Structure 1
C-alpha cells in the first residue's frame, strides 16, 4: 500500500512539474518578427519594418537562444546584456529592434566572452528602448524591441545546441581561422 501511495505521489509531482514546464514557450528569432500589418511598437505611430513587435508574445514565459553581447559588466560578471541572433551583430551590422532582446539576469552571469551562446528563459516584455554599449569599433546605440527581466540563463556549447546561423556574414570568421 505504501509503495502504491508513493508511486501516485511521484506521478502527481511529475505531472505538476511538466505542467509548469509546458508554460514556457520555446521561440526562435523569426517568432519575434511581427507581420508588417501587425500593431506598431508605438501605438498611434507608423512603425518602420523591424520595429513591429510580436504582440501575441507580450508577457509570455519564453525560452530563446542567441548570442550574448554584454552591456553592463564587471570583469567576467555580466549584469545586463543584449541577446542577438548572430555572432558579430551590433559590431558591424546592427540588427532590427525586433531582433534584439535586452536581458537582465536574475543573478549576475559569469561570461566566458562576448558573443557567448546562451539560452534565456523569462517573461517577454515589449517596448522599444535604446541602449548605449561599447563594441569593437567604439560606442554603439542599439535599439531593442524586447526585454526579459529576472531571466534564467543557460550556457550553450558551440555545436548542435548553439543558436542557428542566420546566414549573414560573420566578421569573426577570419579571426577564428588563425
Structure 2
C-alpha cells in the first residue's frame, strides 16, 4: 500500500518536533554529567572521611567504603558523557571490556572507595585500549542506576559505553 502525502507530512512534522524538543540524536548527542550530578541534593560529593590527606603508608583502607546516601534517576536511559578515571575489571586480548569509572585517582585501590553513588560500572562491546591504571577518560553511552558489587566496591550506576576517549 502506498502512503498518501498527508501521512508523510505528518511523519516529517513529528520527526521535526522530536528533534526540536531535544529528544532526537541530531539535536542532542549526549548530556554532559559531572560527579556532583550523581549525588542527591544536599549530600556531599566526597564524604568527609575521604577529604584531606590520606596516609599511604598506613593500613590498607580500600575496604572502608562509606555508605551511599541514595541515587539520582533523572538520567536513567539517557545518553550521557561522564569524565573519570579507569579502574579495570575485565580484559580481553585487545583491551578493557569492563571497568569502574571513578571520580579521582586512587579511588578503589589506594584509598577507600567513594560511596556507591560516586562509582559507575562501565561495560563496552569494543574493548578499550587502556594505556594504564587510572587513565583519565570521557565515557559516552546509555546510563542508569544499577546496583553492582565487585571485590573493590559497591557501585550504584552503570554505563554501557558507545565511545571512550582520553580526557
1:149 Cα deviation after fit = 1.6
Alignment-derived partner of residue 154 in structure 1? 165
Kept in 2: contact 1:35–1:52 (CA 8 A): no
Q: CA RMSD in A?
A: 2.5
1:120 Cα deviation after fit = 0.4
Kept in 2: contact 1:51–1:145 (CA 8 A): no
Check if 1:115 corresponds to 2:126.
no
1:14-163 aligned within 5 A: 20=26, 22-35=28-41, 50-74=68-92, 77-91=95-109, 92-132=111-151, 140=152, 142-156=153-167
Give the Cα–Cα distance (whole angstroms) in 2 for the partners of residues 19 and 119 of structure 1. Answer: 19
Q: Secondary structure at the match of 1:30?
A: helix
Kept in 1: contact 2:85–2:102 (CA 8 A): yes
1:50 Cα deviation after fit = 2.0
Q: Secondary structure at the match of 1:89?
A: coil
Cα offsets for 1:50-77 (capped at 9, x unmatched): 2411111111110000000000124661
Runs of 4+ in 1 over 3 A off after TM superposition: none
Q: 1 or 2, which has the higher helix percentage?
A: 1
Which consecutive unaligned segments of at least 5 residues does structure 1 have? 1-14, 38-47, 133-139, 157-178
Choose 1 or 2 for highest CA Rg.
2
Which consecutive unaligned segments of at least 5 residues does structure 2 have? 1-18, 44-65
> Normalized against structure 1, the TM-score is what?
0.62
> Normalized against structure 2, the TM-score is what?
0.65
